[in-house]
Amino acid sequence: MRPLYVYYKGIKQAFQKFQNNQNSLNVVDEKIAQLKLKRQILKEKLQIYQDEFQKMHNRKIRYHKDIIPVEQEYQQYKEISKEIQKLEQNLLQI
């Protein structure tokens, strides 16, 4: 009877571990989706700025001084992109 109980306990623990992993994966997927939405919004704002800049100055953005008005949004965009990449790499390793 004891070996059967040990086997049952092992299966139960494996199942609980699997459920915890599934919950973790769902949380990570939700986080990635939220970050992608934020990134898309920032990308649209940056694109609008770029288009307006090009219309006003008849050239593309080339210098750091050109991007100063939206530098904070640009930094957020880069940070969010890095975070998404890191979370997706973690998902692949699981």
| pLDDT tens figures, 28-83 | 889 999 999 999 999 999 999 999 999 999 999 999 999 999 999 999 999 999 99
| Total number of domains in the chain | 1
Domain that holds residue 39: 4-93
This model's pTM is above 0.75: no
- Burial string for 42-51 (b: 16+ CB within 10 Å, else e) reads beeebeebee
> Residue 30 in 3-state DSSP?
helix
CA atoms of 31 and 42, how far apart (whole Å): 17
